[in-house]
Amino acid sequence: MKRYCPIAEILQTGETEDEPEARLLSQLKLRDSAVKSGGEKTRRAIGAAFSSQAPLLFADEPTTNLDMEGVALLEKMMRGYRGAILMISHDRTLLDQVCNQIWELDRAAVRVFDGNYSDWASQKERERGFQEFEYQQYQKEKRRLERAADALQRKSRKMAKPPKRMGSSEWMLYKGVAAVQQGHVQSNKSSVMSRLEHLDKKDRPDEPPQVSMRLPDAGRIRAKNAAAIRHLTVSYGNRIVLDDVSLEIEAGKRTFIIGNNGAGKSTLIKALMDRAPETFIASEARVAYFSQDLDTLDPEKTVLENVAEDAAYPQHICRAVLANLYMTKDDMFKPVSVLSGGEKVKTALAKVLVSGCSFMILDEPTNHMDVYTMEGLEHLLESYDGTLLAVSHDRTFISHTGDVVCQLEKGNIQKSTAQKTDTRHSGKY
């Protein structure tokens, strides 16, 4: 491809040999440092790619390791880019805001859809609905023709025998007439069978691994607050990460903590989980925690064994939850040691979802997750009646799932109501 035109690249690893223009260094808030975080590497790669002004930009998961501010900057730069962009991404908001064409890879083939992510998902739903309608009509006509053929076959067999009240001499006279009538019936049957054989076959649409379900009742926390933090200050050396932070997590609400990389989101969660003196968790709360290090998984056990071992619900619920996270039956019997990073995330999340907890704490649950699984997780959390506290950078996930948003910035926290948008789809693509 590089033989035909210059190409700029943003790699998922953030690796690049090029340097951004000076004007982009400040825009991307980049600093000269020998040690660079994953987010800084990605920002530098973004700056270098846009500095090249190449007519074609390849972007492979460009939001990897970016915080919300970084994603917003990337989105702004992409929307103002004059060249063509070919992007792989699981960020649904970015795909909606930037893309005007979607390429779908399915069974070693590529299908092209005009529009953004939401347009693609809506079109796929309509297509599947029409396929389901055609399949049901095909099945209905097939059953009708099969019943007609069976009825004609029974009629033909009956005509080959003398009626009960007909004597043998009468039957000998009538037999020729019956044979002619039987021939007509067989001809009609052959016609029906021919129509059946030439019926335009319609295949059943592929069923997604998801199954329709609601999480069982986890039991609500009766106290007003499931947890609270009072005047928490955390510093590392001379750097203050959290500065006299206070926060109440209202029982029954879905609270999201957002902020730039290094703002202290995971530090706040860790203080809560470590039961720091400045924190409080309701005594009646049954807490389950999903952490990014996935340390709750036993690599020697299968997916299903890991999920079911401490589950509050029977195994069929565990299987249904895994199916809603797009784990197949075969996946469920794989040892965790052979799973991809995304599959391990699904397994650890399923373990939390079936724990029967009344207070669920999730730290970046959508990392390494494809869009199908994200929507599956959203459908599961929609039915969760407990309290949710989550850290996330995924704007669509927050808008679909959250009630309250707490933004950490410069050691302080600002609380607001989540901006609800519901662009979810059935998951039946």
Per-residue pLDDT tens digits for 310-332: 999 999 999 999 999 999 999 99
Q: State the pLDDT at residue 157.
A: 75
Q: Are 323 and 231 in contact (CB under 8 A)?
A: no
Is 213 among the domain residues? no
The predicted model gives 114-122 an average pLDDT of 94
DSSP-derived secondary structure letter, 349: H
Banded pLDDT at 176 (limits 50, 70, 90) = low
Is 269 among the domain residues? yes
Asked whether residue 262 falls in the same domain as residue 334, the answer is yes
Q: State the pLDDT at residue 209.
A: 58
Q: State the pLDDT at residue 162.
A: 63
Asked whether residue 295 falls in the same domain as residue 337, the answer is yes
Tokens of 367: 């990392």
Tokens of 401: 């799932």
**Dihedral of the alpha carbons of 280, 282, 285, 287, in degrees to the nearest 10:** 0
When comparing pLDDT for 331 and 186, which is higher?
331
Is 207 among the domain residues? no
Encoded amino acid at 124, one letter: K
Among 2-6, 185-189, 233-237, the range of highest mean pLDDT:
233-237
Q: State the pLDDT at residue 80.
A: 92
Q: State the pLDDT at residue 420.
A: 66
Last residue of a domain, one of 32, 61, 89: 89
Q: State the pLDDT at residue 168.
A: 66
**Does position 304 have pLDDT exceeding 50, yes or no?**
yes
Banded pLDDT at 423 (limits 50, 70, 90) = low
Is 148 among the domain residues? yes
Asked whether residue 22 falls in the same domain as residue 68, the answer is yes
**Does position 35 have pLDDT exceeding 50, yes or no?**
no
Q: State the pLDDT at residue 166.
A: 65
Q: Which string of DSSP letters, residue by residue, matches 9-73? A: EE-TT---SS---HHHHHHTT----SS--HHHHHHHHHHHHHHTT-SEEEEESTTTT--HHHHHH
Ranking 39-48, 113-122, 201-210, 357-366 by mean pLDDT, the lowest is 201-210
Is 116 among the domain residues? no
**Does position 244 have pLDDT exceeding 50, yes or no?**
yes
The rounded Cα 383 to chain-centroid distance in angstroms is 16
**Does position 353 have pLDDT exceeding 90, yes or no?**
yes
When comparing pLDDT for 425 and 93, which is higher?
93
**Does position 160 have pLDDT exceeding 90, yes or no?**
no
DSSP-derived secondary structure letter, 372: H
Asked whether residue 21 falls in the same domain as residue 146, the answer is no
Asked whether residue 235 falls in the same domain as residue 384, the answer is yes
**Does position 34 have pLDDT exceeding 50, yes or no?**
no
Is 71 among the domain residues? yes
Asked whether residue 231 falls in the same domain as residue 367, the answer is yes
CATH of the domain at 11: 3.40.50.300
Ranking 99-103, 122-126, 159-163 by mean pLDDT, the lowest is 159-163
Instruction: Give the three-class secondary structure for 342.
Output: helix
Asked whether residue 232 falls in the same domain as residue 304, the answer is yes
Asked whether residue 129 falls in the same domain as residue 277, the answer is no
Encoded amino acid at 212, one letter: S
Strand-pair partners of 245? 232
**Does position 424 have pLDDT exceeding 60, yes or no?**
no
Is 350 among the domain residues? yes
Contacts 24+ apart (CB under 8 A), 220-224: 220/251, 220/252, 220/358, 220/385, 220/386, 220/387, 221/251, 221/252, 221/282, 221/284, 221/285, 221/358, 221/359, 221/386, 221/387, 222/251, 222/284, 223/251, 223/282, 223/284, 224/250, 224/251
Q: State the pLDDT at residue 427.
A: 47
Q: Distance (Å, rounded) from C-alpha 175 to C-alpha 252?
A: 82
Banded pLDDT at 429 (limits 50, 70, 90) = very low
**Does position 426 have pLDDT exceeding 80, yes or no?**
no
Residue span of the structural domain in which 158 resides:
125-197
Q: State the pLDDT at residue 175.
A: 61
The predicted model gives 247-251 an average pLDDT of 94
Last residue of a domain, one of 89, 104, 137: 89
* Residue with token string 């997780």: 377
Banded pLDDT at 411 (limits 50, 70, 90) = confident
Q: Distance (Å, rounded) from C-alpha 312 to C-alpha 319?
A: 13
Q: What whole-number percentage of the chain has pLDDT above 90?
A: 52
Banded pLDDT at 163 (limits 50, 70, 90) = low
How does the average pLDDT of the chain come out, rounded?
86
Asked whether residue 235 falls in the same domain as residue 360, the answer is yes
Is 193 among the domain residues? yes
Per-residue pLDDT tens digits for 11-23: 877 677 666 666 6
415: nearest Cα among 241, 239, 236, 253: 253
**Does position 298 have pLDDT exceeding 50, yes or no?**
yes
Q: State the pLDDT at residue 397.
A: 94
Strand-pair partners of 58? 9, 86
Classify residue 8 as exposed, middle or buried by CB count within 10 Å of its CB (0-12, 13-18, 19+): buried
User: What total number of domains does the chain contain?
Assistant: 3
When comparing pLDDT for 421 and 186, which is higher?
186
Asked whether residue 229 falls in the same domain as residue 139, the answer is no
Q: Distance (Å, rounded) from C-alpha 126 to C-alpha 262?
A: 43
Tokens of 253: 């609400």
219: nearest Cα among 256, 251, 254: 251
Asked whether residue 359 falls in the same domain as residue 262, the answer is yes
Using CA of residue 369, residue 371, residue 377, residue 382, what is the dihedral sign? positive
**Does position 164 have pLDDT exceeding 70, yes or no?**
no
Asked whether residue 174 falls in the same domain as residue 233, the answer is no
Q: Distance (Å, rounded) from C-alpha 369 to C-alpha 344?
A: 10
**Does position 240 have pLDDT exceeding 60, yes or no?**
yes
